[in-house]
Amino acid sequence: MDCRRTIRVTGKGLIKVRPDQTRITVTLEEKYPEYADALYHSSRDTDDLKQILSREGFEKKDLKTLSFDIDAEYEGYHEDGIYRQKLIGYRYRHVMKVDFDSDSERMGRVLYALAHGSLTPEIQISYTVKDREAAKNRLLGKAVEDARQKAEFLAEASGVTLGSLINVNYSWSEPNFEVRPMNRALMGANGAAPMAKASGYDLNLEPDDLELSDTVTLTYEID
């Protein structure tokens, strides 16, 4: 049985990080009467999207899938006083993202191309951090330092001597590295968009710093 006296403290790290990467999330969604039709058109529309982005300097591999679903849709009706459902088609929903170094002019060109192409995408703009590992390590260091300082203060206030660190408890949670300046998505297919120029949109968005926080718990031996 371990009879050592210990002190256990939780430290909190808090940092601000400037977003340096833009993320455009594109959602394609359509309904077709047959499953095969939905599958075919989803593939064709994805290829069309890659072609649009390639004209803006992206490679096909830059477009990443976040989710893909094809769901059956039903319509309710009453017959002889009984509620029934009939199959009316299949809806595909393909959510994709493309990331690039933050550049307002390039972002405007990409949005313009998406909004004036043959597709009808839902478009969401967000900002993120390219080197997430560096930010997470910095955040963790802040949390450990905060826990250590608290342990030293508590030990001194209690009249005991802080000994060796004997345990570190960390949840390895993933901070939210994404900030969205717009709550509503933009719509493509010549949908309304502010300040259109000949070849792009002048949105002039400036993302706020990301505020990241995390905790770590340290256990020290005390004498």
pLDDT tens string 104-156: 889 889 998 998 888 889 999 999 999 999 999 999 999 999 999 999 999 99
- In this structure, of 48-52, 77-81, 170-174, the range with the lowest mean pLDDT score is 170-174
Which pLDDT belongs to residue 63? Answer: 96
- Of residues 27 and 175, more confidence is placed in 27
Instruction: Quick: pLDDT tens for 58-77.
Output: 999 999 999 999 999 999 88
Which pLDDT belongs to residue 200? Answer: 63
Q: What residue segments make up the domains of the chain, in order of their start?
A: 6-222
Instruction: Quick: pLDDT tens for 4-39.
Output: 789 999 999 999 999 999 999 999 999 999 999 999
Q: What is the percentage of the chain residues whose pLDDT exceeds 90?
A: 64
CATH annotation of 6-222: 3.30.70.2970
Q: Which DSSP category does 16 fall into?
A: E
Q: Is the distance from CB of 113 to CB of 55 less than 8 angstroms?
A: yes
**Would you state the structure tokens that stand for residue 100, as one six-digit string?**
């690039």
- Of residues 69 and 179, more confidence is placed in 69
- Give dist(CA 125, CA 115) in Å, integer: 13
Amino acid at 43: S
**Would you state the structure tokens that stand for residue 159, as one six-digit string?**
């009249």
**Would you state the structure tokens that stand for residue 220, as one six-digit string?**
């020290």
Which pLDDT belongs to residue 202? Answer: 64
pLDDT band at 194 (very low <50, low <70, confident <90, very high): very low
Q: Is the pLDDT of residue 187 over 90?
A: no
- Give dist(CA 56, CA 78) in Å, integer: 51
Residue with tokens 């994805």: 46
